[in-house]
Chains A and B, each alone.
Chain A
Amino acid sequence: MFGFLPATFASGIPASLPALLALRAEPLAHLRSLDIVVIALYFAMVLWIGFYLKGRSNTGEDFFMAGREMTAWIAGLSFVSANLGSLELMGWAGSAYQYGILAVNWYWIGAIPAMLFLGLMMMPFYYVCKTHSVPGYLDLRYGGEARSVAAVAFAMEMILMSGVNMFAMAVVMKVVLGWDLNFSIIVSSLAVAAYVGLGGLRSAIFNEVMQFVLIWGGALLVPILGLVQAGGWTGLKAKILTNLGSDSYFHIWRDTGSFAANPMGVHWTGIVFGLGFVISFGYWTTDFLVVQRVLAAHNLRAARMAPIIASFFKMAVPFIVILPGLLGLVLLQNPDGSRRVLVGEDVVAACSSGAGGVQDPSGCSAAMAKTTLPADYQQKVLSGAPNAELHTYNQALPLMMVRYMGPGLLGLGITALIAGFMSGMAGNVSAFSTVWTYDIYRPLIHKTGSDSHYVLVGRLSILIGVAISIGAAYLVQQFHGIMDYVQALFSIFVAPLLAVILFGMFWKRATRMAGFLGLFLGIVFSAGLFIWVKFNPAALATVALSPDAKPMAENVFRALWAFLFASIVLILVTLVTKPRPLAELDGLVYGATILPKEEPVPFYKNEWAWATVVFVIFVALNIIFW
């Protein structure tokens, strides 16, 4: 999930979120009683679901795999919902405010081809081999070494990221609503521990589907009312042209011919190969957090259809995320009626104020000089004038919610954000529980336990996982720099994993040692690139192939190099080691597997037909918004 955090969050969280805590005395929104009731109802419902499902999660298959009885719709919505966290919603709305519609690439080319590939080409192998996890597939294909590396990396990543997201969300609640950090962290994590610990994956999936509906129910009003006020899409374009003097906000490819021509500082090659292939395929086809949802499908056809159904909704998400950011560009207003200009978190942090006004006027002035804030507004900020507040890009979505939502509706919008966070955390801890129990505890610590013993271990690991997450959240609060490293874990790990899984699934020759070394050395190489740029920012120009590259470009190019490196290692080692007999690869590798014959269905139930429809819409959207 966090691999897709936008630049504003991915690079902005470490230093700026804690700094923001010290800034605002006044929250953005004030909840009324009706809003509190709406939020409380949500908590009551998720806990009730957890208790209700407790009796249906007594076996390992039930607790860890939701009984493998999900329909394609449930698995598909859960699949896309696990990725639709509240930080993503707000972060990408902020990115759209900053970069325009270019941000939509992370929803379209950065997701759709990979989701279709997962459904059509990879699910047969994941599903037929009856693995319970992605490390479990590596175990079957390559052996215990690759499984252990992947399992440890997954477990660490999930639990630490859960803590980081928990802290980030608590900060958002503090800034938007004025809620106490401890309150947000403890209440939300206890609720997640309760409903996942009780009902297992089935409970997590139930709640993810509910969260998906709530997100749309809570956030859909913002673009609808925003478009009404802006005069429709045509009116919005005209207003942006008038106010900002550029139409580049409406093009996703036109200005990516050079790093310097677009505000994101990315090149189309990085978007296509780094984002569209390595990062996207790495996340959507190998990250156990999302793949686990599809593995819970009730048959192979449902497992193949689930990512395809999800891809329809994924293509639509920019309507509630990207569009509010664009609308915010022209509709958000200061109290005096002038257009509100949002700024980066670094600017807000530089302009933090104490009792006597801005603490560092020269630093604040220098930071504001790099923005498009009007000169008179900059003066107001420096002089500490009332209502002269600075708001960050990431606040674009909450600000738009506050603009259009009164009591009740605002509670629904906030519930959508809370639900997004809790769902993401539930996804992390349920995946952690499965990987810990099946891929670390059972093979390495206690091989001969009964099924009920492993369910007990799974339940306990959820409690322990949540406790570690809370610890990580407080650790991040004390040592902000840790956040940067934790967020990098995913991007370091995903590219080599993708290489190893793709070769494992589609090349019969790939060997056990090649899988292990490709994964292990690929992770070392990727971490090396990250550390190199971290301690020598000038190295970014080398990694991303251009002096104009920005941090967003580093992520995609680092992933690309790590994928190529892991692939080369895997190929070379394979060529000098002995392959496994073909008979052992049945159910695991393309060309060595006879897939179960599926009953013929009408074309409107066929996964290939729907995948074609998705692909045509995907291409059309890219042409329309070229």
Chain B
Amino acid sequence: MHGSGIPIWFFIGVLLIFYGVMIFGYGVYEWSTAIYPLGVQLTNLHTPVWWGVLLSLLGLLYVIKFRPGRARK
């Protein structure tokens, strides 16, 4: 959806960046303190770190590509 408004992908990008940064931040804290939540498996893979990075990058891509005011081809 484009028209004169903000594309939906921009909203999604913003949300993904928020989520990515928060999850990445927690992952770094978890990794640095080695305090892992009880019962969670495969903590050695540090999933929050790379998943947080992935979400942030995806979000960033959407925000840049679909930022308001960007001229459409």
Residues of A within 8 A of B (CB): 34, 37-38, 41-42, 45, 49, 52-53, 56, 66-67, 69-71, 74, 202, 205-206, 209-210, 213-214, 217, 221, 225, 228-229, 402-409, 412
> Does the CB pair A409–B22 fall under 8 Å?
no
> Does the CB pair A210–B15 fall under 8 Å?
yes
> Does the CB pair B11–A49 fall under 8 Å?
yes
> Does the CB pair B42–A225 fall under 8 Å?
yes
Contact residues, B2-47 vs A (CB, 8 A):
2-3, 5-6, 8, 11-12, 14-16, 18-19, 22-23, 26-27, 30, 36-37, 39-43, 45, 47
**Cβ-defined partner of B3 (8 Å) among A41, A52, A69:** A69
Can you sample 15 A-B contacts with CB below 8 Å? Answer: A45-B14, A56-B3, A66-B1, A69-B3, A70-B1, A209-B12, A214-B15, A217-B16, A225-B45, A225-B47, A229-B41, A406-B43, A408-B22, A408-B26, A408-B52
> Does the CB pair A221–B41 fall under 8 Å?
no
Number of B interface residues at 8 Å Cβ cutoff, please give it: 31
Shortest A23–chain B CB gap in Å is 21
Residues of A within 8 A of B41 (CB): 225, 229, 403-404
> Does the CB pair A41–B19 fall under 8 Å?
yes
- Judged by DSSP, the binding face of B is helix
Shortest B73–chain A CB gap in Å is 13
Residues of A within 8 A of B42 (CB): 225, 228-229, 404
Cα A214 to Cα B1 with chains together (Å): 18
Shortest B5–chain A CB gap in Å is 6
Cα A373 to Cα B41 with chains together (Å): 24
Closest to B9 in A: A209
Cα A49 to Cα B14 with chains together (Å): 12
Cα A206 to Cα B22 with chains together (Å): 24
Closest to B36 in A: A406
Residues of A within 8 A of B11 (CB): 45, 49, 206, 210
Cα A547 to Cα B36 with chains together (Å): 53
- Judged by DSSP, the binding face of A is helix
**Cβ-defined partner of B15 (8 Å) among A45, A56, A70, A205:** A45
B55 interface residue per 8 A CB criterion: yes
Residues of B within 8 A of A214 (CB): 15
> Does the CB pair A404–B22 fall under 8 Å?
no
> Does the CB pair A221–B47 fall under 8 Å?
yes
> Does the CB pair B5–A42 fall under 8 Å?
no
**Cβ-defined partner of A406 (8 Å) among B16, B40, B55:** B40
Residues of B within 8 A of A229 (CB): 41-42
> Does the CB pair A407–B15 fall under 8 Å?
no
Residues of A within 8 A of B43 (CB): 406
> Does the CB pair B39–A403 fall under 8 Å?
yes
Known contacts A206-B8, A406-B40, A409-B23; is-contact A67 B3 (Cβ 8 Å): yes
Closest to B43 in A: A406
A-B Cβ contacts below 8 A, count: 90
Q: Which 8 A-B pairs have the closest CB atoms?
A: A408-B23, A406-B37, A408-B26, A406-B40, A206-B8, A74-B1, A209-B8, A213-B12
Closest to B5 in A: A56
Shortest B57–chain A CB gap in Å is 12
| Other A-B pairs, 4, CB within 8 Å; known A49-B11, A202-B1, A217-B19 | A53-B5, A406-B30, A406-B48, A409-B51
Cα A38 to Cα B30 with chains together (Å): 18
> Does the CB pair B16–A409 fall under 8 Å?
no
Cα A69 to Cα B33 with chains together (Å): 50
Q: Mark B44-67, 1 if CB is under 8 A from A, else 0.
A: 010110011001000000000000
> Does the CB pair B15–A42 fall under 8 Å?
yes
Cα A330 to Cα B3 with chains together (Å): 50
Residues of A within 8 A of B5 (CB): 52-53, 56
Cα A78 to Cα B23 with chains together (Å): 27
Cα A71 to Cα B3 with chains together (Å): 10
Closest to A331 in B: B41
> Does the CB pair A205–B51 fall under 8 Å?
no
Cα A407 to Cα B24 with chains together (Å): 11
> Does the CB pair B8–A37 fall under 8 Å?
no
**Cβ-defined partner of B51 (8 Å) among A70, A206, A221:** A221
> Does the CB pair B1–A71 fall under 8 Å?
yes
> Does the CB pair B15–A404 fall under 8 Å?
no
Known contacts A228-B42, A406-B30, A408-B26; is-contact A38 B1 (Cβ 8 Å): no
> Does the CB pair A213–B16 fall under 8 Å?
yes
Shortest B19–chain A CB gap in Å is 6
**Cβ-defined partner of B47 (8 Å) among A52, A66, A202, A409:** A409
Cα A217 to Cα B18 with chains together (Å): 13
Cα A500 to Cα B17 with chains together (Å): 48
> Does the CB pair A404–B3 fall under 8 Å?
no
Residues of B within 8 A of A217 (CB): 16, 19, 55
Cα A37 to Cα B23 with chains together (Å): 11
Residues of A within 8 A of B3 (CB): 56, 67, 69
Cα A543 to Cα B1 with chains together (Å): 46
Cα A595 to Cα B19 with chains together (Å): 46
Cα A209 to Cα B23 with chains together (Å): 22
> Does the CB pair B23–A206 fall under 8 Å?
no
> Does the CB pair B8–A74 fall under 8 Å?
yes
Shortest B36–chain A CB gap in Å is 7
Residues of B within 8 A of A66 (CB): 1
Closest to A406 in B: B37
Cα A2 to Cα B62 with chains together (Å): 33
Residues of A within 8 A of B15 (CB): 41-42, 45, 210, 214
> Does the CB pair B45–A403 fall under 8 Å?
no
Cα A611 to Cα B35 with chains together (Å): 50
**Cβ-defined partner of B1 (8 Å) among A69, A221, A402, A407:** A69
Cα A552 to Cα B8 with chains together (Å): 38
Residues of A within 8 A of B27 (CB): 408
Residues of B within 8 A of A67 (CB): 3
Cα A228 to Cα B41 with chains together (Å): 11
